[in-house]
Amino acid sequence: MTTAAKRSTIYFNPDIHKALKLKSIETSKSISEIVNNAVRKALAEDAEDIAAFEERAEEPLTSFSEMLKRLRKDGAI
């Protein structure tokens, strides 16, 4: 089942828009396709980050001052 694309207006910085137009010409892809792919990639990275945070949610927290003390004790600083 294919869902219809949704239309949205996005305002780009003129230089970014020019770069997108040039990339569109060079890759034979529409600006919409380029932007959709970039957003999809960014959302996938966010999902990976969230999964990593959730995996580590039960790990004990170390404060910055505790870490500095540990580094000093170990001679790292």
Q: Could you tell me if residue 6 is inside a domain? A: no
Q: What span, in angstroms and rounded, lies between the C-alpha atoms of 62 and 26?
A: 49
pLDDT of residue 1: 61
pLDDT of residue 38: 98
Q: Could you tell me if residue 53 is inside a domain? A: yes
Please tell me the total count of domains within the chain: 1
Q: What span, in angstroms and rounded, lies between the C-alpha atoms of 33 and 26?
A: 13
Q: Look up residue 1 and give its two tokens.
A: 């089942």
Mean pLDDT of each 10-residue bin along the chain, 77 residues long? 87 98 98 98 97 94 96 96
Contacts of 32 by beta carbon, 8 Å cutoff, 6+ apart: 5
Q: Could you tell me if residue 2 is inside a domain? A: no
Q: Could you tell me if residue 7 is inside a domain? A: no
Contacts of 59 by beta carbon, 8 Å cutoff, 6+ apart: none
Q: Could you tell me if residue 40 is inside a domain? A: yes
